[in-house]
Structure 1
Amino acid sequence: MNRFLFLLAGALFVFASCKKADYQKVTHNPELYRVTVKKLNDIVLENNFPPVIASRNYVYANIAAYEVIAAGDPKHYRSLAGQIKHLPKAPQPDKGKEIDFQFASLLAFCYVGNAVTFPEGSMSIYVDELKQKAKDAGMPSDVFDNSVAYSDSVAKYILNWSKKDNYAQTRSASKYTVNRKDGRWIPTPPMYAQALEPHWGEIRPMVLDSASQIPAPEPPPYNMTDKNSVFYKSLMEVKKLGDSLTADQKNMADFWDDNAFKLNVIGHASFATKKFGPAGHWMNIAGIGSQLTKADFGTTVAAYTQASIALFDAFINCWYVKYKSNSVRPETVITKLIDPEWRPRIQTPPFPEYISGHAVISAAAAEVLTHAFGDNRAYTDSSESEFGIPARTFPSFRAAAQEAGLSRVYGGIHYKNACVAGNMSGRRIGDLVNEKLKLKIK
């Protein structure tokens, strides 16, 4: 009888272990995190979040997920508390309760994602699916409840912290005043939209001490009277390229367009088309890097988080420079002084030209992803395929960032010097993020 009870206990232990392994195979799969980030990306796209605000959506959701992972595995991951100097210490898990930290990190990501996007509850159905997936995989009820409770506590702490970043205050800040002096930015067709987020440089950064910490060189002064001036030559370069684009240059411009809201005007009719913004595009690339290197769950969350921090700070720095320079877009000058019928390959966005946002944020993200996944990591980016744009292959993340900047010249919306300067600023921001933040413990 004692032997029978011993065998029965052993069998039950094996069965319980198998059940535990079964649910962990589901909840610890890094693909589930990649899918979850993509879910938020889709919501950001569908609800037309401008690129700078989208970066805010991603960064707080990813940090919430990462803080859960760091709390669950302190031997391998450092909390960002203190590394981001204004981030307080996260709530710690109760040592007496079993928690599935990977599952909790997914829920924390969604909780914050729900709160920083609209309409409210956009991720609720997906959260229900995640919870059902865990239950169907055999997660014990106590582990499930403990994980949900801990994810909620971390998410609430991140949301409370996020409310101090000056975002709410900028919602009621003064609007941009258009100055029609030559060389200054003015709204462009077809939307003639008001300047986008002129106060974004006032948002609290994560790693930068201030928006102005990484200075950019002054742009070439506006000069259309001297054909040998840097400005005149730069402008004519944009026009000449735009008039004779190769098929590959057109594809490059379209691939990196990342216009979250393009207004199409045909006769008297108009309609909008949407795509991922630049931050969303680089979130997709972070996922490609994770998949390509077969990164585990924690490494995947850490890479997304560090990339989102670099993107967030890069946008703050870039927007500070943009509204400090208030530089005119090529389209404005070309149509006024050279060819009134000229149009850029892609739609000119509603904010000043210098420096190139794509160049800054792409270079910053590329430095972080290179740090996370390795240099010269060749990859194919098919994330634009859902918009009918062919995939492109790159020898490295840095090469992709260089192309992203150059694409804006082919697109007709930037002068080359804005892209070169932007890439330099972005690399410095990415380097600073890598230097200041040590997420993984080697």
Structure 2
Amino acid sequence: MKSKSLVLLSLLFICSCQKKEYKKVLHDPRLFSETVKELNHVVMDNSFSPVVASRNYAYAAIAAYEVIAAGLPEKYQTLQGQLKDLDSLPNLKEKHKVDIEYAALLAFCSVGQAVTFPEGSMKLYVDSVKQLAADHEMPEDVKSQSEDFASQISKAIINWSKGDNYLKTRAAEKYIVTNNDGYWAPTPPMYGDAMEPHWNQIRPFVLDSADQLRAPKPLEFNMKDTSSAYYKEVMMLKRASENLTEDQKHMALFWDDNPLKMNVYGHAQFSSKKFSPPAHWMSITGIAAEKAKFNYAETVYAFAKVSIALFDAFIQCWDSKFTYSTARPETVINKFIDKNWTPLLQTPPFPEYTCGHSTISSSAGEVLTEIYGDNFAFTDTTEREFGIKDRSFKSFRAAAEENNWARFYGGIHFHQSCLVSTDLGRKVGQMVVAKLKMKR
């Protein structure tokens, strides 16, 4: 597991000559971005699926944001009454000595580890943050009251999270594979069960319901007629996969974001892990915040709004996926064209239509565009730690559009599916932008 305190040690070194200026350390927006990254690593180490991961990020970021909104009500508006069933949160009393940046960080960690993970998953990291506050001589009354307010907000958000049907879906019936042509079936090498087939039962934040933006019917399965639209889609993907340029391969691998890849070499099997799709976009949010020189509150706001869009986009997409339950390219090509064909990327264990990564990417792209502006050029360094070189983009929408090509070049999604998904994800993102009033 990655060290829990690299950023803390770095900031401690920078501020070692400023013992009493705890705000220099704890109010640095980079600290919050690195804390989000720490949660990314906890998610990755625990092998949580992308959809479950989006739940952790969203509730954690909302908790942090509500601390900010309570402390800066003249600048930020609470999400009470805006997000579904979020009706009552603790108030910050005027005489309380709360350091809102410190409290927001603790609330993020507390909720992030409690929503899904075993208790204490981020304990070492939280302890190091608290020690940082003590070492830099945060007044004890400020420290204790900040920790108390963070705890109050965390408990309220965790209680609210319990009403989203997550636990109910843990006990839902197992998805039944039909084995009919054109329908989803487990794929090699993992042959995993369908991932989160009941996620459309999860309560959304902004969408009225999971099926509010359900995708149109997919192309009709037809591998007998070589002139059919479906057959042409299959052949377009197969030809592309067999003639990839080095840049197309890099594109596919950069956006792979497979949280648990099964590697098989003869009789040897082992898994490898990377950040999941929502973790990648949370990372991009932090990269943009630093480039834009956002302050602490602005950074928290950006993470919260993006995480809400990611969460609802997954609900929308998974509703479409398991409504239509379409076969993956690997299944179709192996049965009807070439039994030895394999995609560049490993096929994940859920239906093809619509594309989850394309949906959530375009949803996040719309929100990030609203926050930072269009034509916000940036270099995405997220994949460096996994040995994949950076890619640069002229805008967030351009990054999202590249992603839909990446899933096609990776051989795991038909391009028509990616195009539909990109359109639907944009609509989710636009709905989040239109409905949520956060900055005053």
TM exceeding 0.5: yes
Q: Confirm or deny that 1:335 pairs with 2:327.
A: no
| Aligned residues of 1:326 and 1:352 also touching (Cα < 8 A) | yes
Q: How does 1:165-176 map to 2 (within 5 A)?
A: 165-176=164-175
TM-score (norm 2): 0.95
TM-score (norm 1): 0.95
Q: What count of residue pairs does the alignment treat as equivalent?
A: 424
Match of 1:53 in 2: 52
Distance (whole Å) between structure 1 residues aligned to residue 327 and residue 113 of structure 2: 37
Q: Deviations over 1:389-439 (max 9, x none)?
A: 111001100000011111110000100111000000000000000001111
Q: How does 1:370-381 map to 2 (within 5 A)?
A: 370-381=369-380
Q: Deviations over 1:112-153 (max 9, x none)?
A: 112124332011111111111111222100000000000000
Shift of 1:89: 2.5
Match of 1:161 in 2: 160
Distance (whole Å) between structure 1 residues aligned to residue 43 and residue 268 of structure 2: 26
Which SS does the other structure have where 1:384 is aligned?
Answer: helix
| Runs of 5+ unmatched residues, structure 1 | 1-17
| Aligned residues of 1:376 and 1:395 also touching (Cα < 8 A) | yes
Q: How does 1:408-427 map to 2 (within 5 A)?
A: 408-427=407-426
Match of 1:238, as an amino acid?
L
Distance (whole Å) between structure 1 residues aligned to residue 171 and residue 388 of structure 2: 38
Distance (whole Å) between structure 2 residues aligned to residue 114 and residue 333 of structure 1: 40
Match of 1:301 in 2: 300
Q: What do you get for the CA RMSD once the two structures are aligned?
A: 1.2
Distance (whole Å) between structure 2 residues aligned to residue 20 and residue 141 of structure 1: 15
Shift of 1:23: 1.4
| Runs of 5+ unmatched residues, structure 2 | 1-16
Match of 1:231, as an amino acid?
Y
Distance (whole Å) between structure 1 residues aligned to residue 231 and residue 332 of structure 2: 10
Instruction: Work out the percentage of aligned pairs sharing the same amino acid.
Output: 54
Distance (whole Å) between structure 1 residues aligned to residue 183 and residue 197 of structure 2: 14
Distance (whole Å) between structure 2 residues aligned to residue 385 and residue 19 of structure 1: 32
Shift of 1:217: 1.7
| Aligned residues of 2:211 and 2:319 also touching (Cα < 8 A) | yes
Match of 1:88 in 2: 87
Shift of 1:19: 8.1
Q: How does 1:140-155 map to 2 (within 5 A)?
A: 140-155=139-154
Which SS does the other structure have where 1:221 is aligned?
Answer: coil
Moved more, 173-182 or 110-119: 110-119
Distance (whole Å) between structure 1 residues aligned to residue 301 and residue 117 of structure 2: 26
Moved over 6 A (4+): 18-21
| Aligned residues of 1:19 and 1:139 also touching (Cα < 8 A) | no
Match of 2:351 in 1: 352
Distance (whole Å) between structure 2 residues aligned to residue 54 and residue 112 of structure 1: 13
Which SS does the other structure have where 2:269 is aligned?
Answer: strand
Which SS does the other structure have where 1:84 is aligned?
Answer: coil
| Aligned residues of 1:262 and 1:347 also touching (Cα < 8 A) | yes
Match of 2:138 in 1: 139
| Aligned residues of 2:28 and 2:296 also touching (Cα < 8 A) | yes
Which SS does the other structure have where 1:380 is aligned?
Answer: strand
Match of 1:244 in 2: 243
Q: Confirm or deny that 1:269 pairs with 2:268.
A: yes
Match of 1:307, as an amino acid?
V
| Aligned residues of 2:19 and 2:135 also touching (Cα < 8 A) | no
Distance (whole Å) between structure 1 residues aligned to residue 117 and residue 73 of structure 2: 34
Match of 1:10 in 2: none
Match of 1:65 in 2: 64
Shift of 1:264: 0.4
